[in-house]
Amino acid sequence: MTSFQHPAEGTAMPHARGIQPKVWLRHGTLSCRITTSMTPEPASRFPELPAEVRNLTLLGTFKIFGPGVIIASVTIGSGETVFPSRSGALFGYSLLWCFALGTVIKGFQIYSGSRFMTLTGRHPLESWSELPGPRAWFVWAMTIMSLVCMPLFLGGGLPRMLADFTVSGVVGFTPAPGNLEEKQLFDLYACLWGTLFILVAITLTWLQSYNFLEKVQTVIIGLLLFSIFVAVLSSQPEVMAVLKGLVVPAIPTFEPWVRDLPEFSNRDPWVEVIVGIGVFGGGTQDYFGYLGLLREKSWGLMSRVGSPDEKTDWNVDRSPENVVTGKIWLRAPLIDVSFSFAAILFFALCFAVLGAVVLHPEHKVPAGKELLTQQLDFLLREGQSPLFQSFLNLLYKTGIFFAFFGTIHGAYELYTRTTHECLTVAIPRLRNVSLGKFRVATVSVLGVTGLTSLWCSLDPVRVITPAAIISSALTCGLWCFAMIWSDRTHLPAELRMKWPLVLAVILSGIALTIFGVTGLTMWLA
């Protein structure tokens, strides 16, 4: 059955396979002519390979790396800057394996989606809308769980963390313990700074282009790489302990001094692990938008989106030469995902190691308003000259500031793409709504809800914990299982995932689902 919408004047409606409606809106009158044809759309052929994908040189790989840098920047500020250092402070080197595991399972998860989109030109959500049962039931479930978590990250979470850091670490105002008046003043300053950060990020989102966003995030990533590399060189970690923590899984347990801290007296150590893995690398609220950003690169059959011969079915030419071209096109998403998660893992391991070296022996745990300020100790070591310490102090503060502001800045555009991709599939009549209108609506809603959450002055960790468990673990696991169905249903046999990759995606889905269900159960308890 074909559903009709009111298009802009003079434009024809997209047609379903086998039915070719001609619909125009002229002078306020809807005219319609339908012709039926049993002739299917011609099989889609992949476009010519660009030099950077075909030849695969070192310079070419850097040209390919694009949307992944936005994912890296957004997730580094939202998770890798804080939670790995908490892990190192709480558990020492023993849980480094969690971040390696998170890299692998999240990497397989997001690659399965970008691979599918490159080969079909269509978002996985479009495939999932055809899962057995009521139309788009799974799309609605994923959409609700992902979109609900967005304000938690962009209100009481990230802007508040950056605001706390600005007030205490940059301005230099820290309330004295037990002084209620100073605490209230600190909260007021933090809320004002957080409001400023949100408003600036929203303004940039409305004014910027995708290319500007990509370039800004690339500069931020480069700055962070330099900052954290200096920190690691100055920390002198135990290399063997680092390697052991990476390859030997250990059961998380709190030491007695951790149990004595009020925040952890009733907190299960597995919640810390699950939140760490969940926040690591982002979640579906990021990944749906990432796949939307891939349209800007026009890899594979994505180049046909918006063109006169745009795909409206799943028919891909199965000729040997076209299959070979399609497989070569897969280099692009593989490189983008690999570079992105390599950068994310590097940051996570660095902060976890620095937490183990500096904070764990001192029994310090980043928490509350000190999520970022305690990490200043990373760069300030005995024997350094005052001038060098001042330089490192400035370097750290600059890096942390841009890490978090880069996350907030990039997240509004990323979440706009997520909202657009989810709702246009869940509610087909919204497909004629422009991305610009989606941006205004998404940013406005996130701005209002984010500011409301910010001014409630909640603990950022408590705000992010449920969001991380739901959208960064549970829904990620469901994503993996749904991608297996899409791969087997909407791709020709020649282009489907081979069994090693299928097994990796299934195992990733099992792990993420278990983490999500377990974490949610423990959090509710």
d(CA 441, CA 453): 18
With a cut of 90, say whether residue 476 has pLDDT above it: yes
Tens digit of each residue's pLDDT (9 = 90 or more) over 319-378: 999 999 999 999 999 999 998 888 888 888 888 888 888 888 888 877 655 556 666 665
Give me 517's structure tokens. Answer: 């269900």
Q: Which of the pair, 43 or 199, is modelled with greater confidence? A: 199
Averaged pLDDT for residues 260-289: 80
269: helix, strand or coil:
helix
Q: Name the pTM for this structure.
A: 0.80
pLDDT at 378: 59
Q: For the segment 8-47, what is each residue's pLDDT rounded down to a tens digit?
A: 333 444 444 444 444 444 334 444 444 444 455 677 889 9
DSSP string for 367-401: -GGGTTGGGGGGT--TT--HHHHHHHHHHHHHHHH
The mean-pLDDT minimum among 10-24, 57-71, 228-242 falls in 10-24
The mean pLDDT value for 286-300 works out to: 90
Q: Where are the alpha helices (DSSP H) in 380-498?
A: 386-426, 435-455, 460-469, 475-490
pLDDT tens for residues 131-182? 999 999 999 999 999 998 888 777 667 788 888 888 887 888 888 878 888 8
Q: Give the confidence band of 421 by pLDDT, cuts at 50, 70, 90.
A: very high
The answer to whether 288 and 67 are in contact (CB under 8 A) is no
Q: What mean pLDDT do residues 395-399 have?
A: 75
Write the single-letter amino acid at 432: N
Q: Which of 82, 468, 108, 509 is nearest to 279 (CA)?
A: 468
Distances (CA, A) of 306 to 296, 311, 431, 454: 11, 9, 12, 39
Report yes or no: 442 and 416 within 8 Å, Cβ to Cβ: yes
Helix (H, G, I), strand (E, B) or coil at 25: strand
Both tokens of 384, joined, read: 């350094």
- C-beta of residue 29 within 8 angstroms of C-beta of residue 12: no
E strand intervals along 27-93: 29-36
Residue 107: pLDDT band with limits 50, 70, 90: very high
Please enumerate in sequence order all residues whose Cβ is within 8 A of that of 410, keeping only pairs 6 or more positions apart, or say none. Answer: 70, 73, 74, 213, 217
The pLDDT assigned to 108 comes to 96
Of the candidates 274, 344, 284, 272, the one whose C-alpha atom is nearest the C-alpha of residue 149 is 284
- Secondary structure of residue 253 in the 3-state scheme: coil
Delineate the domains of the chain, giving CATH numbers in brackets.
41-378+393-524 (1.20.1740)
Map tokens 């071209």 to a residue: 325
| CA-based end-to-end distance of the chain | 47
Give CA–CA dist 198/336, Å, rounded.
28
Residue 47 identity: P
The pair of three-digit structure tokens given for residue 200, joined into one six-digit string: 């600036």
Query: Is residue 7 very low, low, confident or very high in pLDDT (cuts 50, 70, 90)?
Result: very low
Q: Is the pLDDT of residue 305 over 60?
A: no
> What per-residue confidence (pLDDT) applies to 510?
95
Could you give the CA distance from residue 106 to residue 111 in angstroms, rounded to a whole number? 8
Residue 6 has pLDDT above 50, yes or no: no
DSSP state of 44: B
Question: In Å, how far are 199, 447, 457, 463 from 206, measured between CA atoms?
Answer: 11, 12, 27, 27
d(CA 473, CA 298): 29
In angstroms, rounded to a whole number, what is the distance separating the alpha carbons of residues 348 and 26? 57
DSSP secondary structure letter of residue 425: H
Q: Are 325 and 46 in contact (CB under 8 A)?
A: yes
CA distance 236 to 493: 51
Block residue for tokens 């999932």: 128
- pLDDT of 79 reads 62
Better pLDDT: 77 or 512: 512
Output the six-digit token pair for 51.
């030099």
Q: Stretch 280-297: mean pLDDT, rounded?
A: 88
Measure Cα distances from 162 to 77, 124, 152, 169 in Å: 10, 34, 14, 10
pLDDT given for residue 77 in this prediction: 63
Mean pLDDT across the chain, nearest whole number? 81
pLDDT category of residue 485 using cuts at 50, 70 and 90 = very high
Residue 104: partners with Cβ closer than 8 Å, 6 or more residues away? 504, 508
Cα 456 from Cα 458, distance rounded (Å) = 6
pLDDT at 299: 92
Q: Are 113 and 127 in contact (CB under 8 A)?
A: no
Three-state DSSP state, 116: helix
pLDDT tens for residues 257-274? 888 888 787 778 887 777
User: Tokens standing for 10?
Assistant: 């003079």
- Give me the percent of the chain exceeding a pLDDT of 70: 84
- Measured between alpha carbons, how far is 117 from 305 in angstroms, rounded to an integer? 11
The pLDDT assigned to 368 comes to 55
Residue with tokens 């909407």: 490
pLDDT score, position 377: 60
Predicted confidence band at 380 (pLDDT cuts at 50, 70, 90)?
low
